[in-house]
A and B are shown apart, each in its own frame.
Chain A
Amino acid sequence: MTLIETEHRRREATGARPASSAQQAAQPRGFRGLTVASPAIAALVAYWLSELLPNSDPELGPTIYSKVLLGVLGIAILFAVAAWALSRFRPKAEHGGPLFAAAVSMLAVWDLATTKFALLPMPYFPGPGLVLEGLLEDRADLLESTFYSFRLMLCGYAAGVLVGLTSGVLMGWFRQVRYWGLPLMKFVGPIPATAFIPFVMVIFDEAFFSGAALIALAVWFPVTMLTMSGIANVPASYFDVAKTLGARRGFLVFRVAIPAAMPNVFIGLFMGMGAAFSHIDRRRNRRRQSGPRLLLQAAQREFRIRQSLCLALDHGGLLFRLHDAAVQGP
């Protein structure tokens, strides 16, 4: 018997195994029924509260909220059944169940604090029913605004990330580039991108390009700084190992430095998304009176709190969901 075999047998006998998540997942474990059923329970309670408790404002009629809750209840039941029936789906369901339940519970708490007990002052805090109705009523405007936002965000963010990654890698890898580039970064970076609006509008006459350039500028700084920092702080031992394996410069940059810097790069991308979101539509759209900011300004001007909230929910949620999907995968 070889020593390796002996070692394996010892490990099996003593249970000395690595803390592998794959192994942990493979270990038999009881079906956590309450965890996967919790969204359905939360939806049922939320529906029950919505139907049984009277509204604080007697003039407020039935809203679409109850129907939406019934839909959520149906989805939650399907979720629980799928977790019970499909063993492959079960780990995901057990992981996501509490979050699903918490989201539904938040809806119920929101409904109680606004529509049912008016604990929060109206009309600044409309209930979920009113907001959902607002979403439905203004869906044409919201969809159009979302479309223009996405188009602008996509172009600006992609351009900012592309330039930021390139400049970050160059500054992180080449000392000379860092020598000349870092002072420029320190000088230009902290200045809000909106300060460059006049320059951007002069350079890009077209409103769309000026808006995209502004977003790209806002994204470029965090992406560059964090990529540079990530590349510059890759442990030297990784390069030593790669060199002794016969690696050349291309391998060192693209197969060692950039992958090792990815945690920093992802932070830069996330911060860049925040910057892009805060700069979205900060340009004068002279040809098309559409876009979330114009809609938001109109809503605020007319004191349409409900629509403002719809807009924020719609754009914020959707954009960050897309970002997560792009960065983390589906």
Chain B
Amino acid sequence: MVDANPCTPSLPLDTPTGVSIHSVSKRFVAPDGAIVTALEGATLSIAPGEMVSLIGPSGCGKSTLLRLIAGLDQPTSGELRIGSQPIEGPSAERGLMFQDANLFPWLSVRRNVQAGLVARGVLRQRRQEVEEYIRLVGLERFANVYPHQLSGGMASGLLSPERSSTIPKCCCLTSRSARSINSPACRCKMRYFASGTHGGRRCCSSPTTSTRRST
């Protein structure tokens, strides 16, 4: 069993919220001018605390939907909301765990973790949370080393929502990051982000191409 103690730092919790997706379509223009429809009329509702796996073959639009929820792309039509607010762009309240760790190679582990706080100009007030997160992923001894000096498993422990030192209201996992959920650090973090240990306040979605992976 996973001990819940290291996974429950005393961080501020945001208000309960859910994600609603209504008749969302996303089309891309290919280099040859052809229209590629990645999503058509997707409608979905994710309740607070709910964990949803998106299952489907490659290219069916799973990651596109996550990028729309994260606000990195805009839908061609339809509406996405988090709580009562429409999703109009990226925000730290919607975390996205990318397929790779995507650590900034020019920053140390500590500075990578701080990056989100620096970006939002709140590092001074919330500096202590950085150490808490580094401890959470078990990299205390490696806080000052650079990403190329970490093993792949250690780097994957710093997938992006954790790097923001922010508890996102909604946490999206791409397929590879969802697969890495079996690593001890990631399981610990997923409990932290999405399980009932925080009162089921957050929703979490992840895409996968097989039902086995989604378990």
Q: Is the CB of B160 within 8 A of A20?
A: no
Does residue A144 face the partner (Cβ distance < 8 Å to B)? no
B96 interface residue (CB < 8 Å to A):
yes
Bound-state CA distance A241–B72 (Å) is: 10
Task: Give the shortest distance, in Å, between B91 (CB) and chain A (any CB).
Answer: 7
Which one of A7, A19, A255, A262 lies within 8 Å of B118 (CB-CB)?
A: A255
CB distance from B193 to the nearest CB of A (A): 14
A2–B6 touching, CB < 8 Å? yes
Contact A243 B116 (CB under 8 A): no
Docked complex: A13-46 residues within 8 A CB-CB of B? 16-22
> By CB atoms of chain B within 10 A, which of A18, A235, A238, A244 has the most?
A244
B184 close to chain A: CB less than 8 A: yes
Whether A246 is near chain B, meaning CB under 8 Å from some CB there, is yes
Q: Is the CB of A19 within 8 A of B98?
A: no
Residue in A1, A21, A245, A262 whose CB lies within 8 Å of B116: A245
State whether B154 touches A238 (Cβ < 8 A).
no
Does B5 count as interface, using CB distance less than 8 angstroms?
yes
A241 touching B120, Cβ below 8 Å: no
- Chain B residues within 8 Å of A244, by CB: 70, 72, 90-92, 94-96, 160-161, 164
What residue in chain B is nearest A262 (Cβ atoms)? B106
B149 at the interface (CB under 8 A from A): yes
Contact digits for A1-14, partner B, Cβ 8 Å, 1 yes 0 no: 11110111000000
User: Chain A: how many interface residues by the 8 Å CB criterion?
Assistant: 32
Whether the pair B184, A259 counts as a contact (CB closer than 8 A) is no
B151: which A residues are within 8 A, CB to CB? 16-19
* A241:B145 contact, CB within 8 angstroms: no
Looking at the complex, which one of B96, B142, B188 makes contact with A240 (CB distance below 8 Å)? B96
What B residues does A247 contact at CB under 8 A? 115, 119
> Once the chains bind, are A20 and B149 in contact (CB under 8 Å)?
yes
Q: Is the CB of B100 within 8 A of A6?
A: no
Chain B nearest Cβ from A6, distance in angstroms: 7
In the complex, what residues of A have CB within 8 A of residue B104's CB?
A: 238, 241, 256, 259-260
Please tell me if the beta carbons of A245 and B164 are within 8 angstroms of each other in the complex.
yes
Could you tell me if B119 and A237 are in contact, using CB atoms closer than 8 angstroms?
no
Contact B96 A4 (CB under 8 A): no
Q: Given A4-B185, A20-B145, do A237 and B100 touch, yes or no (CB 8 Å)? A: yes
A3 touches B94 (CB 8 A): no
Tell me whether B138 is interfacial, beta carbon within 8 Å.
yes
Among candidates A2, A18, A19, A242, residue contacting B119 with C-beta atoms closer than 8 Å: A242
B202 at the interface (CB under 8 A from A): no
A251 within 8 A of partner (CB): yes
Give CA–CA (A297, B17) in the complex, Å. Answer: 78
A160-171 interface bits toward B, Cβ cutoff 8 Å, 1 = contact, 0 = none: 000000000000
Q: Say whether A248 faces chain B, with CB atoms less than 8 Å apart.
A: yes
Beta-carbon contacts under 8 Å, B86-120 to A: 89-92, 94-96, 98, 100, 102, 104-107, 115-116, 118-120
A16 (CB) vs chain B CBs: closest residue: B151
State the Cβ distance, A147 to closest chain B Cβ, in Å: 36
B150 interfacial contact with A, CB 8 Å: yes
Instruction: Write out the residue numbers on chain B whose beta carbons fall within 8 Å of the beta carbon of A6.
Output: 184
Is B115 within 8 A of A245, CB to CB?
A: yes
Assuming A238-B102, A240-B96, is B149 touching A21 (CB within 8 A)? yes
Is B187 among interface residues, defined by CB-CB distance under 8 A? yes
From B149, B161, B184, contact of A3 by CB (8 A): B184
The chain A residue with its CB closest to the CB of B92 is: A246
Q: List CB contacts (< 8 Å) of A227-270 with chain B.
A: 235, 237-238, 240-248, 251, 255-256, 259-260, 262
**What would be 9 A-B contacts, judged by CB atoms less than 8 Å apart?**
A4-B6, A6-B184, A19-B149, A19-B151, A240-B72, A243-B72, A244-B72, A246-B116, A248-B119
